[in-house]
């Protein structure tokens, strides 16, 4: 994770603000590994059945990318207008989001396993590998989405505001996205 700055509130000394420069941190070697996996799997699957592999690969990777970026995409209009979107964690909302995340992850893990038993032999392997290789490819798609949106919005950052209580307990007070420069201009 990229730490850009920490800031303690001068009044209480109890708030720490942490921002991440990139929505998706993708290093050069990670990009190389993702491309190697996708290209080598596509080459191997071209001998068996390329079309079902590509379909399952695209469905899996685009689905995961949309799931991971869903809150950013849902609030993009507000982010464009105000320059900042913040969320205050509430127990009921976080429990619901946690259940959604857990259900999606379980479906992503078990769907290829179920397909191995339901489909005929060469097709089940091709589709299962397509779903599995779609996981790292979704990170690349999410980075491309971030680059495309930043061309129209400006540089988007994640931010987290933490509250320190009793000098030992650290709680997340709020989190969200901000457009660098625009959010600072709106606050002044």
* CA pair distance 95, 98, nearest whole angstrom: 5
Residue 155 per-residue DSSP state: -
Closest by CA to 65, choosing from 126, 162, 143, 124, is 143
The radius of gyration of the chain from alpha carbons, rounded to an integer in Å, stands at 20
Question: What is the pLDDT, as a whole number, of residue 108?
Answer: 83
Every domain of the chain and the residues it spans: 16-185
Q: What percent of the chain has pLDDT over 70?
A: 84
Q: What is the largest CA-CA distance in the chain?
A: 66
Q: What is the pTM assigned to this prediction? A: 0.76
Task: Label the pairing between strands 15-20 and 84-87.
Answer: unpaired
5 band by pLDDT with thresholds 50, 70 and 90? very low
**Residue 66 · residue 142 · CB < 8 Å:** no
């Amino acid at each position: 994770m990229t730490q850009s700055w920490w800031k303690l509130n001068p009044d209480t000394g109890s708030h720490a603000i942490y921002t991440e420069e990139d929505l998706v941190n993708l290093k050069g070697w990670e990009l190389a590994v993702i491309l190697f996996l996708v290209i080598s799997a596509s080459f191997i699957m071209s001998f068996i059945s390329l079309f079902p592999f590509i379909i399952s690969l695209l469905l899996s990777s685009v689905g995961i990318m949309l799931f991971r970026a869903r809150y950013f995409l849902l609030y993009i209009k507000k982010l464009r207008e105000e320059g900042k979107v913040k969320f205050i964690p509430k127990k009921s909302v976080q429990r619901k989001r946690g259940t959604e995340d857990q259900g999606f992850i379980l479906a992503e893990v078990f769907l290829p396993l179920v397909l191995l038993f339901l489909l005929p032999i060469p097709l089940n392997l091709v589709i299962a590998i397509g779903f599995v290789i779609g996981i790292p490819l979704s990170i690349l798609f999410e980075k491309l989405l971030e680059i495309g949106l930043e061309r129209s919005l400006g540089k988007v950052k994640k931010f987290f505001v933490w509250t320190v209580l009793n000098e030992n307990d650290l709680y997340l007070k709020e989190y969200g996205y901000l457009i660098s420069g625009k959010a600072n201009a709106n606050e002044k």
